[in-house]
Every structure is written in C-alpha cells, then in structure tokens.
Structure 1
Amino acid sequence: MSRRFTLLLALCLAWPAYAGSGDAAHFYVYRMQPGAAEKFEEGYRHHLDWHRARRDPLSWYAWTIEDGERSGYFVDASVGEPFAAFDHRVDVAGDGADFRANVAPHATPMGQPAYVLLRAVSTGAPLENLKPSATMQVTHVHVRLGMEARFERALARVHQNLQKEQGAQAHTWYRLVTGGDTAQYMLLVARDGWSGYDRFERSPGLLLAGDEAAQRDMAESVQSATTETWRYRAELSALH
C-alpha cells in the first residue's frame, strides 16, 4: 500500500493540475474549410490523443458556434490555469507539428484571444470548475477606450442584482488581455439549451432598470455588443 501511495503521489507531482487554480482563459477560433467539417473533427480527435499521450495537464474545451455571423465556426479553449502555465506547454514544437498535420489542412485560424476571468463580477465559473453547460450564450462587448472603469462599475451593480434573481444561470465575465481589439469583454451565460431562456433571459442592461447612475455608466461606456450561441462538444474536449 505504501509503495502504491508513493507512486500515485509521484504521478500527481509530475502532472500538475491547473483547473480552477488561475484566471487565464485562452480561446482559439477556426472557420471550417467548405465540406471539411468531418475531416476537421477526425483530425482534431487525433490531436487530442497526442495531448493525452503526453499527459498534457491543461484542460481543453470545444464548442461549435450555432448562430450569428460566425455560425459553423469551431472554438476550443483552455481556462482556469495561471497565465504562467502557457510558458510551460508540453512539447510546443511537437504540438504545432501534429496540429499542422492533422487539423490545419481543414480549417482557417480566425483568432486566439486570451482573457482574464473577472471573478468579482461573475456569479459562477463553470468552465474553471470543469462543469460545462450544454450550451452557452456568449456576448462580446466592445467598450470605449478609457471607459473600462465605468463599465466594470456597472458590472458590479449587475452582479449585485443577479444575486437576487431566482433561476439565473451562472454569468461569467472576462476581460481581453491580448489577441483582439481593446477594450473588449466577454460574457458567458451557462444554458442547458433553449429551455434556459424560459427560466431567465434578462440582459445586463435590463438588470440595471431603475439605477440611473449604473445605466448611464453602461450606456456611455459600451460601444457595441454581439451575442451568439455555443454548443459544447464533449467528444472533442479533454478535461482533467
């Protein structure tokens, strides 16, 4: 028994577990080549096998975007680790070579934004806790430069009001760190399909009804916002 415990302890120390231990969120977005969705998914499964074989400690989520201008795009992400974890990726050169061989021929990379989780204004962090929902309502918010503090002040009021709402699903906010236009934020609302909107569908703006100061902060700081649905692909994900 002692030898078995020692072996298990050594394996745990050799394979660090990052999930939930940091606030980094790295996303990768791909547009499928025409008619290549099946080949892409087959190649991506092979690529996940490459990661598993090398005991990659990072968890990888996958989604398909179902509506909006990016309908049909594929998204994968590693979240919940410290930013430093990406300084110690498993065999970076080999990872890139395997990706180019199995995945790259079937899709065009469209971006790789990195975000930081805003825990103080989020009501939950399902992805960081390895509990993805069947779908997510994903809202991208572009904020006017210099207005970030006012926007996050409005988010604090939204957070307070959300905590009073019955049936509200987890709302998780991120701020863009690099990889896109600034200042940019992303809101993930956990949904279990369309039925989730029957239980709760109020937007952050509606949650500020009656609070004139917070409404003014929101209205004057936000430049634009777009919303889309992401469907979770468990068969193309690798969680630890």
Structure 2
Amino acid sequence: MPHRSLVFALTLLLASPAWAVQGNVAHFFVYRMVPGATTQFEDGYRRHLDWHKAHHDPLVWYGWTIEDGERDGYFVDANVGEPFAAFDHRVDVADDGTDFHATVAPYATPMGRPTYVLLRNFSTGTPLENRKPSAVVQVTHFHLRPGMEPRFERAIQAVHKALAGNAAAPAHTWYRLVTGGDTPQYMLMVSREDWASYDRFEQDIAALLAGDEAALRDFADAVQSSTTESWRYRQELSRLP
C-alpha cells in the first residue's frame, strides 16, 4: 500500500503542469469606478467570476474595495501565491478578455497593474497565500530613494525581529514591486478584522524600530514617501478555487 501511494503521488505530480506549485508572485489590478456605475460594475464582475469558474481557472482571485485615502472607492483584485509562469498558462486568454470587456469594462477605468514578489523572510504571516484573507487589510506603499533597498531591507528585518515577540501583532506581509510602477517600491499588508484591532496593535514601522537607532536611521534614510489605505475584503467578489 505505501508503494502504491507513492506511485499515485508521483503520477499526479508528473501529470500537473510545471508551474502548478505555490509561488511568491502577486499580480494586482486596480480599477476606478465610472461615476454612478458601482452596482453595474459589481454585477458584471460577479458574472465575470462565473466565467472563470465555468472555465475551471485554477488561479485565486481576491477582491477588495479601498475605503479611504486618495483612491477611496477604487476596486482592487489580485492573483496571489503562484509562480511567475502561472500567468503564461491562463485559461483561454482571448475569451477571458472578451467576457471582461462585455461585463466589466464599461463600468470601470483600469488604473494600474502592479506585480509584486512576496518577501517571506521579512513577513510574519502570509494570509493571502494561505487563502485566509482578513476582513480588512491595512496597505502601506513605501517609495524608496534609488539604491536604498539594502538599507530598507535591513530595517524591515529589524521590524520582523520586533514583531516576533509581540503576541498581539497581526500578520505583517511584505512585497517588493517587480513591475508596473515607480521603483524601488515595497508594499506592506497588515491584517485587520475591525477598528478594534487598532486598539490591540497600532504600532507603525517607526514605533517598532524606536529601540534600534541604526535600523531607524536606515528606515528614515531609505524611505522617500509612503501612503496608507484600508482595503475591505469582498468575499462575494472573490474566487478561491
């Protein structure tokens, strides 16, 4: 029986495409609603997710609505947790595009398609890759000065160390921008469930580094600017096959 189980497992592995393994890539797509068309967009997007289901798309698609900041009201969706090669093997790309243009495109303007890579060694948790999204995610984009990546990563390694001893800290997940925007750029996603979660843990990066002067100096010198938003998870506008 153990021999048969091993043979069966090897058969499944050989029959699967080479890219069908967990990876570290996150493709994001950002949309601004046409004024007054939010309901039509969401109805169309649900129908488009039905297209993905009918075509047995193996990719995960998360959806969020941005609730504050300059992009308040925007919609974000993402494919997360695959290798880069997975996007070379999307199901029926032409028909996917045709369906999207018929059901979604009339009601939203595409605003960006950034692609990130997960930094597992700096992250304290990976909820999206584990298919366990939080109700809200606090998203901060860090725009760095050119050439400052090593110093910034030294600083966030110190952040990781500070978080390790804090049982109240929510998952902090770090990504580095690969393409689709100004570089160097990093993104931090902090899992939140509600506003009460800020009462339990409200510390930002500077506060976490307050006891480490060298790391705080690295962080301050490396970061040119940053923006923070709250994204609310839309389970009804997501698909987790």
Alignment TM class, shorter chain as reference: over 0.9
Matched with 1:118 is 119
Deviations 1:195-234 (A, max 9, x none): 1111111001110012111011000000000101000000
SS state of the match for residue 205, structure 2? coil
Q: Give the aligned residue type for 1:102.
A: T
Provide closer, same or farther for how the CA distance between residues 59 and 125 of structure 1 changes in structure 2, counting only shifts above 3 A: same
Tell me how far apart the structure 2 counterparts of residues 35 and 169 of structure 1 sit (CA, whole Å). Answer: 36
Structure 1 residue aligned with 2:49: 48
- Post-superposition Cα deviations, 1:62-86, rounded to whole Å, max 9, x if no partner, equal 0000000000000000000001100
Given residue 76 of structure 1, which amino acid in structure 2 is its aligned partner?
A: D
User: How much has 1:173 moved relative to structure 2?
Assistant: 0.3
The aligned counterpart of 1:221 is 222
Aligned identity (percent) is 67
Match of 2:82 in 1: 81
Cα–Cα, structure 1 residues 118 and 201, in superposed 2: closer, same or farther, change >3 Å? same
CA distances 1:58-111 after superposition (whole Å, capped 9, x unpaired): 000000000000000000000000011001111111111110111000000000
8 Å CA contact retained: 2:27, 2:78: yes
What is the distance in 2 between the residues matched to 1:148 and 1:15? 34
For 2:167, what is the secondary structure of its paired residue?
Answer: coil
* Aligned mates of 1:144, 1:103 — CA distance in 2: 37
* CA distance in structure 1 between the partners assigned to 2:106 and 2:18 by the alignment: 32
1:26-37 matches, cutoff 5 A: 26-37=27-38
Alignment of 1:139-178 (within 5 A): 139-178=140-179
Q: Please, what TM-score do these two structures have when normalized by structure 2?
A: 0.92
Write the letter of the residue equivalent to 1:159: H
Secondary structure of the residue aligned to 1:205 is helix
Paired letter, 2:180 = G
The 5-angstrom pairing of residues 62-81 of structure 1 reads: 62-81=63-82
1:200-215 matches, cutoff 5 A: 200-215=201-216
Cα contact 2:19–2:85 (8 A) shared by 1: no
Runs of 4+ in 1 over 3 A off after TM superposition: 13-19
Unmatched 5+ stretches in structure 1: 1-5
**C-alpha contact 1:140 1:185 (8 A) present in aligned 2:** yes
What is the rounded CA distance, in whole Å, between the counterparts of 2:112 and 2:168 in structure 1?
34
- TM-score (structure 1 length as normaliser): 0.93
Distance 1:197 1:237 in 2: 25
Deviation at 1:189, TM superposition (A): 0.3
The one-letter code of the counterpart of 1:69 is E
Segments of 5+ residues of structure 2 without an aligned counterpart are 1-7
